[in-house]
Structure formats: structure tokens, C-alpha cells
Structure 1
Amino acid sequence: MTLISRVLGLVRDVVIATFVGAGVNADVYLFANRIPNFLRRLFAEGAFAQAFVPVLSEVKEKHGDDAVRELVAKVSGTLGVIVLGLTAFAIVASPIIVMVFGTGWFIDWWQGGEDAAKFDMASALLKITFPYLFFITFVALSGAVLNVYNKFAVAAFTPVFLNISIIACAILFKDTFSDTAYALAIGVFVGGLVQFFFQWPFLAKAGLLVRPKWGWNDEHVKRIRLLMLPAILGVSVHQLNALVDTVIASFLMTGSISWLYYADRLIEFPLGLFGIGIATVILPSLSKLHSTNNPAKFQETMDWALKMVLLMAFPALAGLIVLGPLIIKILYTHGEFTATDGQQVYFALMGYASGLVSYMTVKVLAPGYFARQDTKTPVRLGIIAMLSNIVFNFMLAPFYGFVGLAIATAMSATLNAGMLYWGLHQQGVYKLSKATMSWIARLVAATIFMVAALEYIKRSGWFATESFWQESVMLFSLIGVAVVVYFVSLILFGTRKRHFRQGA
């Protein structure tokens, strides 16, 4: 289900690149979508789930389904009121939000510069896209509830409707507005609404569809509140860094926000499919193991999760760098998106890709804290990583522009991953075993063989590339070769089926 969602996400990005390219309209739309999308990450895949799932799992194990329904009612009512107020404020005060997060555009608007129109357009688009936050909050809530009951498919499939809505609105309304960016923004709104209603029947079938009620002072709601606020920094450093990048990019040349976005979307494909996917599955299990006081199984589960994400992280990193130009050309270089834009996206992609292993590792290590309801440690480490990213930004952006922002994000993620692991090691919760170190060595060696094979084939001229379809065949052929070489190499290095099962 996650794979279907991610593939359609790439199709959506192809449509965006084709219709708005990487110019002014693209920068503004992506900015207006970035803020509610950033908050979606906090609620759907980040802080909310990391705080809510452990408490809900504990309530389920100790008090049963009736207590679960009562907690869901109070959380949905309390969170719904807060997010509704935030959404209403954002719609009214959208110029203020753009002023804060698009400071470069605001200054240009204030001084009557050439980018003044960006500020006005961003303010208008934000009024359309921000209600998405209200809808997705309840989508995240219902998805977390279903996950606790080991029903993962519905929540994983739900994002498909957002992608379909954006694609459909872009195609249907591209000639309705003077700027296609408005059609894309309407697609975001419609997508949120469809996702909102999609999960209701599944909740009803599971007996978990309840009437929301206010519960600010409820004992369990208080615990979720206390866990959630620190978790925003503890698990969402990558998203926070991306938001900081957007603010700084508003001072850079037109196209910087778009180039960073398209590069980040290619990183998000393996990250979402494997990193976030595995992290979503292990959190309820880790929470249950902690509640039943089973540290040995806790360690085994984390070890399995880390091995699985690294199994995909190393070849994904290498594949994006080696095949990046061809991937970008096939996916994005159409319509309004130029070859120059593609080259700029590749530069940003190399910067982001250098931190892909770290992004995935963070997604697995952070649940090791939140499953034990420890928010103090990851929030402290998250603050350090975020401040480091800002420092790295100001060190690198003056020399490397938007590429420096991507490199800074990768550097801060690597720092964050290292600190998270060291913290778990110091607490005696998780440490790398000799078997896992051997596993990592085999993965690195297999990745090197894979890269060597790809480079040999690329330079041999075996594939003629004169058209879009020929290039597509070449890309999928190279991916096929990469998969075969990678896994055959793993087998030659001693990897067997039992290594995938250990800890599962």
C-alpha cells in the first residue's frame, strides 16, 4: 500500500513539474504547500503518532477496548478544537505566516521589488491549502488507532487519494485559472477532504468510530500532550530543517525552493517506503514490549528494523547518485521544466542523498525512545541537530547556495542519528551486535559491486537513448541489473534467509 502511494506521489510530482516547472509559480505553490505539509508530517508520521501510539497501546493492554474508545473520543475532540482554531487563524492571517516563513519575499514586497508578486500569491494560496491540516489531523488519528490494532493497510493507502486529487485537479482546472498553481492548491484541499472520509467505514467496522468530546484534563490526554510537544523536535528534525531551508531559500534565486523540493521528493520515495514504513510498523510492537517489560525482544525488534532499513538505504543512496540524472530527465524534464532545472535538481539531490542512510536510521532509532515514553532525550538531541543545521546553513549557503542547504540538512541528520544511537547505547536499550556490524559490512560491499556494475554498463554504451521510451527502458533495465547484482553479491558474501528473519 505504501509503495502504491509513493509511486502515485512521483506521478503527482511529474504533473507539477510539467505544468508549473521550477519557476515563480512552482516556488509559490510549493511554499504554500510546504507549511501545512510540514505540520502533516508532525501529526501523521511524526510527533503525534510517536506520542499517541505508546499511550494508546498501554491503555489497550491494561484497560481494554472500552477505555480505548473513550481515549479516542477525548483525543479527537481536544485535538480537533485546537487544530480548527489554528486553521481558522492561518486562513485569516496567511500574510503574516508568509512574512515569517517567506521573509525574503516579504522584504521584496515591502520594497516593491521584482518578487513582490510572490508574497501576494503565496498569501492567497495558503488560504486554500491550510485547511488540509484540519482534515489530515483526523486522518492521522484514525490511522494511529488502526495501527495499534495491527491494521496497517488502510492508513498506508490513504495518501493515495491526495495524490489522485492533485493530479485530477491539475488536469481538469489547468485552464480555469491564470496560474495552474491555484488548481494544484485546490487539489490539496480536495485530497484532504477525501482522506478525511475514507477511513470512517474502517473505524466503524472495527467498533472504534466514536463521537469526539473535550478532554483537555483527562489523565491520558495530559500524558499525550506532555509527550507530543517534545516529540515535535525529537522525531521531526528533517522536516524542521527543510522548513528552515525554505525560509533561507526565499532569499536565494528564483527556482531554489522548487529545485530543493524536487530533489527532496526523490529522497522521500525510499525514505517513506522503507524508513517511515518500518518505523510505523515497529512502534506499536516496541510499545507493547516495553509495557510487558521484555527488554531482550525490544533489542531484537530494533535490531531487525535497523538491518531492514539499511538493507535498502545503502543501494538507494548509491542508485540515486549514479542514476539521478536519468531519473530526473525521465520524471521531470517535460513541459515547463527545463534541462537546466534538471541539472540544478541533481546538484541538490546529491546533497540530500548523502544523508539518506542517516534519515532512515533516525526513523528507526527515535521509536526506541518514544516507545518507552522517553521524550526528554530525543528532544534535547533534536534541538542540538536543528541548531547545527542552522549553523551549517550559514556556513555553506554563501558559497554553495541552495546546494549548501541540502548538504547542511544531510550533515545535521547524520549528527542526529549518531546522537540517538549513542543515547540508546548509554541507556543500555540498544547497541549494535557483531552480527549487525557484519551485516552492515556486507551491505556496503554489495553496494560497491552494484555501483561498479552500473558504471560499467553506462560507459559501455550498450543502451542507445534517443527517445523518452528508450530512456525509460534503459532506466528500468539498469535498476533491474542493480537489484540482481546487489542481492547476488549479498548471497556471495554469506547472506542467507535466516538473516532476514532474526528479530522479526
Structure 2
Amino acid sequence: MSLMRSSMIASAATFCCRFTGLVRELVYTSLFGATGALDAFYTAFRIPNTLRDLFAEGALSQSYTSVASKTRQQDGEEAAWNLTRKIATQLTTLMLAIITIGILVSGPIMEAMYPATGKARDLTLATGLCQTMWPFIGFASLSALVMGALNICGSFGLPMLASAAFNIVSVIFGLAIGYCFDPHFGPMALYGFAIGVVLGGGAQLAVQLPKLRQAGFRWKPDWNWKDLRCKKIWFLMLPGVVASGVTQLNVLINNTFALQLESGSVTALSAAFRLWQLPVGLFGVATGMVVLPSVSRMILGEDRKLISDHIAKALRFVSFFAVPSTIALGLLGTEIVSLIFQRGEFTAGASELTGNVLASYALGLLGYAGIKVVQPVFMAVEKPWAPMIMAVIALGISVSLNYYFVNILHCNAAWLAVTTSIITTLNFAAYYIYLSRLMGSSGAGTLLPGFIRIILAGLPMAAIYAIGHYYLFDGFTSWGFWPKLLSLALVGGIGGIAYLAAAWILKVPELNAFRKRFAR
């Protein structure tokens, strides 16, 4: 199966995941608005969810996939399943310990994140919600392991759809249980959604198990802690936790600083981040998932030039979608937020703030998408320590910039998103340069010609969206739903057609390849 075809399958599944995640976010904001109570929920969820991001889309899945792919190719399928049993046993034990510790230390963690005065009620709520949601990380981590096991068998669609199961179950049960706590959906109803998060994590794991059994896996505990391949997985994972999670850790830092700002700032960051992740999840995460197993196999052949070209093609494929996404989110951020979120308790003022945050996030979308493709390769070549050092440096810069923007300049939440964009862009540049040195080739001859054409194709689209934002959408947040939808669809559609037409004129290879795959 080709890189593009596999990526498109994974991307289609990821779209379902991201779309249902957007619906979940919409339910939260419509019921609770950009308030201190919803800020408390997001803050409480941020701790276990950050660990989920590190494991599910980061270090554990990547390190396991790298080692298990090589094991399967060298020693056969049964050897790979034996390795999976050992890692599953060790992971279950580790997660039980982490959940227990997490519940016990939730109070001190929330106290450390919240400002010293002014939000005592929100602090109490956040602590209770955090304790309720800790079991989620156990289900999510095991789900990440199953996802990696299915990936090495060539199955990419179902593992990505599993996150959609989480979103659907967490919303349905959250609404039902939240209604039991408070029929008027006051702050206490958030406990229902916290329980829904845990049930959704269980559903995310459960939907993948039949496919895993069909692939040949049979579960039984294996307590062999001395297996060398298991040690290699954990060895690769530990530095990878930091390296792959720099953006997630930066979001956690942003969350802490946002608690010092006006109420609703955390909600604005979360809602904007959800929209920012939609295109990244569609093509960056999906392509990175497909690249890792193939690069792990290529390493065995020691053809480094081929690997560089393979990565360059993946980056070009991602750029074909990331460039127009950057333009749309950057120039029409407020309009998109207003159309999607502005209803119920989510006001026009919240739309303005969230739109500004989204536009700031958009500056780093290309870098973030590139990280999702490039960073997993370090697992395949078993060089995780250098990315970890780069990530630690990036986090230091992030804290410094956030402190400067919030505590010295007294800026709003949008500047926290600017920090994220700066860090992700610098991080991608460092990863790419170092990886080029490892491979002995940057793949620039494959990457740059196509990438420059994609940028040029985006210029007419940017001009159309700029005109729409500055001259046609004045007072957009006060419009009704249908005028918003029709006008944004019209301007968005014209801009999209302009981009595709320019890509066709400039003979962007990804356009023709995508058209053929999509037609199939």
C-alpha cells in the first residue's frame, strides 16, 4: 500500500475523530460558555489528557511500533505478538500506579496551577474533576498500544476511528449523567462529563480489541521484565515522552498562565486548539503514523537516501493541505469560531477572543504538521535523545515568552498561542536539520520544488480571504446563523477553488496524485 493511499485512509478516519471531537467541544461551550467553571473542567482534564497525548500520539505508540515492526520483519509475527503481551502487561501495571498517584496528588497539582487568590471555587471544582478523570489515562494508554499493534499489521483506519468512539461515548454519557447531577447544567453537571470521559476511554480501547484478535493476537499476562526488546521500547520512549510532547506540554504551560487572565481564557485556548488540530490531525498525524512503520523497515536496508526522499514526499503531501488550512484559520479565524461555537452560553466576545487565539495558533500550523511527520522517524532510527534536548530547550523558551507576555506586557490569551506557534516552528526546523544530518541528505531536491509551488498556489486564496475578512465580514459576530454560513461558505469556496486552480496551473504533483486516489 503506497504512502499516499495509506495516509488518505488514515486521514479519512482521523477526520471522523476530529469532527466528533469538535462536536464534543461544541456541546461543552454551548452548555457552559467561556466561564470559570468550564475553565476548571479543561484544566482538570489537561493533566491526564496531556499524558494521553504523549502516549497515544507520541512516545509509547511510536517506540513500540518501531521495535515491533523490526521484530515482525526479522523474527516473524508470533515474536511480535509475544513482545506485545509483555509490553501490555508492563503497561497495565504502570498505569495502575500512575492512576493511584494521580488521584492522590490532584489537589496539590491544581493548587500549583491556579493563581493564589480569586478562584477558590473553581479550584475546588477542578480538583474533584481531575480526580474523577484520572482512570481515563489507563484506557487511553492501552488503546495506544493496540493502535500501534494494528498499525504494524497494516490497519490504520480503525485505530484512528477509535478516538471517535471516545468522543461519541463521552458526550452521550456526559449529557445523561450530567443531567442527573444538575438538570439545569450548572457547574455540578461537569462531573457527569468527567465520568463520560472515563467511559469514553474504555470505549476507545474496546472497539479495537476484536480487530486485534482477528489479526492473531491472544492475550495472556507475561511478567518477563528482562526482555531486551521491551527494555529497548522503554529506552526509546522515555526521551520520546519529552520530544514528542513538546506541543502538548506547551499547551499545559499555556493553560497555567491563562488561569491568571480573565475567566474564559482557558476555554478560548482549548476551543481554538481543537480547530487548529483538525487539519493537523487529518494529515500530519495520519501521515506520521504511516511513515513510521515504513521507515522502520527501510532502516534495515540501510538506504538512507531513500528514507530522506520518503520523508520529503510525506512533508510535501502534508504541506498541500496545511498551507490552505493556515491561510483559512489565520485570516478567517474569528468568523469560523463564531459560526461553529457562538450559541448558547458562548457569546460574541468569546468568539472574538477565541478567533484571535486561533489566528495566532495558525502561524505555527505548518511547523506542527511537520513535527508529526518528522519526529516519529527518530524512533525508527533509534536516536531519541537529541530531539529530547531540543524539546527541553523549546520548553524553556516557551516559559520565558509566556512570562514576558502575561506578567510583564499583560497581553491576552492570543499571545500564549503565539508562543506555541514560535516553539513548534523552531522545533520542526531543529528536528529537520538534525534528521538531515543523520540521513546524510535533506531531501531538499524532492521537497522544495513542490513546497514552493504550494506556497505560490496559496497566494490567490490568501488575497480572497483577506478581502472577505476586512471588507465583507464587518460585524460578523452579530449576524444570524444562516447569513454566517452562506457568506463564509461562498468566500471559503471561492478561495478554495482559487487555490486548486493555481495548483493546477503550477502543476503541483500532489494535486494530481490526490485526485487519482480520491477518484478510486
TM-score category (smaller protein): over 0.9
Are 2:146 and 1:142 equivalent residues in the alignment?
yes
* Cα offset, 1:451, TM superposition: 1.6
Mapped pair 1:475 → 2:488: yes
Q: For 1:415 and 1:450, locate their aligned partners in 2 and report how far apart those are by CA, in whole Å.
A: 26
Query: Is the CA contact (8 Å cut-off) linking 2:29 and 2:346 kept in structure 1?
Result: yes
Match of 1:4 in 2: 16
Is the contact between residue 302 and residue 430 of structure 1 (CA under 8 Å) also seen in structure 2? no
Helix, strand or coil at the partner of 2:343: coil
Q: Which residue of 2 aligns with 1:30?
A: 42
Structure 2 match to 1:95:
107
Q: Find 2:122's aligned residue among 118, 122, 137.
A: 118
- Give yes or no for contact 1:464–1:470 (8 Å, CA) kept in 2: no
5+ long unaligned stretches in structure 1: 109-113
Match of 1:368 among 377, 382, 385: 377
TM-score (normalizing by structure 1): 0.93
Q: CA deviation at 1:198?
A: 1.4
Pick from 229, 247, 252 the counterpart of residue 243 of structure 1.
Answer: 252
Code of the aligned partner of 1:6: R
Q: Which whole-Å CA distance do the structure 2 matches of 1:432 and 1:154 have between them? A: 32
Q: Is 1:436 aligned to 2:440, yes or no?
A: no
Equivalent pair of 1:259/1:344 in contact (CA under 8 Å)? yes
**How far apart, in 2, do the equivalents of 1:341 and 1:463 lie?**
17
Counterpart CA distance in 2 for 1:497 and 1:348 is: 30
Residue 296 of structure 1: CA displacement?
Answer: 2.9
| Deviation (angstroms), 1:295 | 1.9
1:16-165 equivalences under 5 Å are 16-100=28-112, 102-104=113-115, 107-108=116-117, 114-165=118-169
In 2, distance between residues paired with 1:461 and 1:227? Answer: 52
Q: Cα distance 1:435–1:161, how it changes in 2: closer, same or farther (>3 A)?
A: closer
Distance (whole Å) between structure 2 residues aligned to residue 498 and residue 22 of structure 1:
40
Shift of 1:492: 1.1
Conserved? CA contact 2:259–2:266, under 8 Å: yes
Q: Secondary structure at the match of 1:427?
A: helix
Match for 2:232 among 218, 223, 227? 223
> SS of the counterpart of 2:212?
helix
Partner of 1:254: 263
Matching of residue 189 in structure 1 with residue 198 in structure 2: yes
Distance 2:178 2:491 in 1: 35
Of stretches 207-216 and 315-324 in structure 1, the one that deviates more from structure 2 is: 207-216
Counterpart residue number, 1:175:
179
**Structure 1 residues 194 and 497 mapped into 2: Cα distance closer, same or farther (>3 Å)?**
closer
Contact 2:332 2:469 in 1 (8 A): no
Cα offset, 1:301, TM superposition: 1.3
List runs of 5+ in structure 2 lacking aligned partners.
1-12
Q: Which amino acid aligns with 1:145?
A: A
1:351 Cα deviation after fit: 1.7
Q: Which moved more, 1:430-439 or 1:186-195?
A: 430-439
- Preserved contact between residue 56 and residue 143 of structure 2 (Cα < 8 Å): yes
Task: Map 1:288-327 onto structure 2 (within 5 A).
Answer: 288-327=297-336
Worse-superposed segment, 64-73 or 172-181: 172-181
1:111 equivalent in structure 2: none
Q: Check the 8 A contact 1:27/1:255 in 2, yes or no.
A: yes
For residues 369-416 of structure 1, the C-alpha deviation after alignment (integer angstroms, 9 at most, x for no partner) is 221111111111111111111121122223223222111111111111
* Pairwise CA distance, 1:240: 0.9
The residue type paired with residue 92 of structure 1 is: L
Q: CA, structure 1 residues 491+463, in 2 after alignment: closer, same or farther (shift >3 Å)? A: farther
Q: Is the partner of 2:54 in helix, strand or coil?
A: helix
CA displacement at 1:261 relative to structure 2: 0.9
What's the CA shift for 1:346?
A: 1.3
Q: Show the 5 A alignment for 1:314-393.
A: 314-393=323-402
Q: How far is the alpha carbon of 1:497 from its aligned partner?
A: 5.9
Say how many residue pairs are matched.
Answer: 494
Cα offset, 1:433, TM superposition = 2.3
Is 1:426 equivalent to 2:437 in the alignment? Answer: yes
**CA 1:475/1:254 → structure 2, altered by over 3 Å: closer, same or farther?**
same
Matched residue of 1:335: which SS?
Answer: coil
Measured against aligned partners, the alpha-carbon deviations of 1:105-137 in whole angstroms (never above 9, x if no partner) come to xx33xxxxx311112111111122110001111
* Partner of residue 463, structure 2: 452
Matched, 1:495 2:499: no
Q: In the TM superposition, what is the alpha-carbon distance from 1:457 to its structure 2 partner?
A: 5.2
The CA deviation at 1:462 is 11
Q: CA deviation at 1:190?
A: 1.1
- Determine the C-alpha separation between the residues in 2 that align with 1:497 and 1:412: 28
Partner SS state of residue 181, structure 2: coil
The farther-off stretch of 21-30 and 319-328 is 319-328
Q: In 2, distance between residues paired with 1:148 and 1:404? A: 40
Q: Cα 1:461–1:243, aligned 2, differ >3 Å: closer, same or farther?
A: closer
Q: Is the 8 A contact 2:504 2:511 kept in 1?
A: no
Distance 1:166 1:353 in 2: 28
Identity among equivalent positions (%) equals 28
Amino acid corresponding to residue 495 of structure 1 in structure 2: V
Q: 1:172, CA displacement in angstroms?
A: 2.4
Distance of 1:192 and 1:404 partners within structure 2: 32
Counterpart Cα distance in 2 of 1:462 and 1:53: 47
Counterpart of 1:49, as a letter, is S
SS in 1 for 2:191: helix
Describe the superposition over 1:54-78 as per-residue Cα deviations: whole angstroms up to 9, x where unpaired. Answer: 1101110111111111101100000
For residue 416 of structure 1, the aligned residue among 427, 432, 448 is 427
Partner of 2:26: 14
Letter of the 1:155 counterpart: P
Matched, 1:269 2:288: no
- Out of 458-467 and 491-500, give the one that drifted further: 458-467
Comparing 128-137 with 459-468, which one deviates more in the overlay? 459-468
CA contact (8 A) 1:233 1:379 kept: yes
Distance 1:476 1:167, change over 3 A: farther
Q: Classify the secondary structure of the residue corresponding to 1:401.
A: coil
Distance 1:430 1:154, change over 3 A: farther
Tell me how far 1:283 sits from its aligned partner: 0.6
What is the identity, as a one-letter code, of the residue corresponding to 1:424? L
Distance 1:335 1:122, change over 3 A: same
